[in-house]
Structure 1
Amino acid sequence: MMSVGMYQNVLNATGEGVPGWLIGGHAHLGVLSIIAIVLGVAIPTLGMADRYRTLVTWTFIPGQWGLPLVPWLAVGGGLEVLHPTAFLSGGLLIVSMLVLTWQAAVAPEAEPGERGDPESIVADD
């Protein structure tokens, strides 16, 4: 992720400019990486059943990596046949987020530390 940003800086510094497909893939990977961190906190906090935890995780992971890789490979790598797979990756991300949102909506209210893994406690910062 950082190396792609550095490469983009080199392209800008040399006056070549950064192609849109490289910017789009970099932005998707950055935002989705942040969402992955949020998922790592939200899933255990909500105390989701194993089947929902598995569904959210395994629809998010291929979506997270597929969405930025499609423009890089399809446009940058010349593998244009991969363009339709962006819809599959995006669809997987949508399923992941919808299930997580639904679980957050139906989760019973609980005191802090009452749900999820008893070993993980949110800090009092």
Structure 2
Amino acid sequence: MAVGLHQFVLLAGGGVVPPWMIGGHAHLGVLSILAIVMGFAVPALGVTGTVRTAVTGLFVAGQWGIPGIVWLGEGFGLTFLMPTGFLWGGALIVSMLIMLYYSATGAGDAAGGGSASFAPGDD
């Protein structure tokens, strides 16, 4: 949100938002929303132990690495860091593939697909 507000200040002051800032902001926004979903999905699917640590670590690295490398590489002129985008993107892909596996092989009621554990009221 802070990046979005900064972009608003630039525009309101008659300036122009650099394209690298727009791309980084978009990635950070979408990946932050996906992080919220992952926060619910990991425990709902019963991902525990080392696998949970791997899923979380890989996702967080990718979530911050993708926009971070855009800002560092393009915004601050550190273009030699740009190839590490493949590392951050790969971390996201591996994290999501692990979650796909748990989704496909988990119990049918793991994500709330089973019957309710309470009796409905007699209204």
Distance (Å, rounded) in 2 between the aligned partners of 1:9 and 1:58: 32
Distance (Å, rounded) in 1 between the aligned partners of 2:70 and 2:46: 35
Q: Partner amino acid for 2:106? A: A
Distance (Å, rounded) in 2 between the aligned partners of 1:9 and 1:33: 20
Match of 2:77 in 1: 78
Distance (Å, rounded) in 2 between the aligned partners of 1:69 and 1:110: 38
Match of 2:52 in 1: 53
Equivalent residue of 1:84, what SS?
Answer: helix
Following superposition, the deviation at residue 70 of structure 1 comes to 0.5
Following superposition, the deviation at residue 102 of structure 1 comes to 1.1
Where structure 2 has 5 or more consecutive residues not aligned to the other structure, the ranges are: 115-123
Q: Does 1:42 align with 2:41?
A: yes
Match of 2:117 in 1: none
TM-score where L is the length of structure 2: 0.85
> Percent identity among equivalent residues?
54
Worse-superposed segment, 42-51 or 86-95: 42-51
Following superposition, the deviation at residue 36 of structure 1 comes to 0.8
> Runs of 4+ in structure 1 displaced over 3 angstroms?
111-114
Q: Partner amino acid for 1:42? A: A
Match of 2:119 in 1: none
TM-score where L is the length of structure 1: 0.83
Following superposition, the deviation at residue 15 of structure 1 comes to 2.6
**Counterpart mapping for 1:96-115 below 5 A:** 96-110=95-109, 112=112
Following superposition, the deviation at residue 61 of structure 1 comes to 0.9
Pairs aligned (count): 113
Match of 1:10 in 2: 9
Distance (Å, rounded) in 2 between the aligned partners of 1:57 and 1:113: 24
Larger radius of gyration: 2
CA RMSD across the alignment:
1.7
Following superposition, the deviation at residue 14 of structure 1 comes to 2.4
Where structure 1 has 5 or more consecutive residues not aligned to the other structure, the ranges are: 115-125
